[in-house]
Amino acid sequence: MTDAADERARVAELLGRPPMGEFEVVVRAPSGDPAVLRNAPLMPDGTPMPTRYWLCDPALRSAIGTLESEGGVREAEATVDPQRLAAAHAAHAAERDAALPTGHTGPVPFGGVGGTREGVKCLHAHYANWLVGADDPVGEWVHEQLLVRDLMPASAPARIQP
């Protein structure tokens, strides 16, 4: 297998399924394992991929899943500044849309972080967005909550500095 095939196989192990489209590993755990993927805006068949950044670190996914199961989505939405959240959605959409192939005329992804137009849909997507250095108030909130609630995995990757 080539390095790219090895990487794809490792991502499939981490996700528990094959990745659906093309991606690039943009954040790694201290172990070197992929932690955040940057997805292509379109799947190989042209289907839009609304989630630009995908968290594939199993320990972080589990910890954030715990946060979500404890009402974290509603709590984050009630806590963060709605204008900062709207700006994060807009910046995310602009960055994703800039990656569309030149002259693309088919369906395009919509919405902001996690494919939502407003509010909070998925803490995992916001945290992945924050880890890549985006000004994402929900991702920042998730990070703080993981620390405060003692849910942060010891193996968690560092954030890319903006």
What distances in angstroms separate CA 135 from CA 23, 83, 95, 129, 138, one per listed residue? 22, 12, 13, 8, 9
Q: Which structural domain range is residue 97 located in?
A: 3-148
Is position 88 within any domain? Answer: yes
Which contiguous run of DSSP H or E holds residue 35? strand 34-39
Is position 159 within any domain? Answer: no
Is position 157 within any domain? Answer: no
Q: Collect all residues with Cβ–Cβ distance below 8 Å to 2 and sequence separation of at least 6.
A: none
Q: Is the pTM for the entire model greater than 0.85?
A: yes
Q: What is the pLDDT of residue 9?
A: 96
What distances in angstroms separate CA 91 from CA 115, 118, 122, 139, one per listed residue? 13, 13, 17, 14
pLDDT tens-digit readout, 24-59: 999 999 999 999 999 999 999 999 997 899 999 999
Is position 153 within any domain? Answer: no
Is position 75 within any domain? Answer: yes
Is position 116 within any domain? Answer: yes
pLDDT tens-digit readout, 104-162: 999 999 999 999 888 999 999 999 999 999 999 999 999 999 999 999 999 999 999 88
Q: How many domains does the chain have?
A: 1
Is position 136 within any domain? Answer: yes
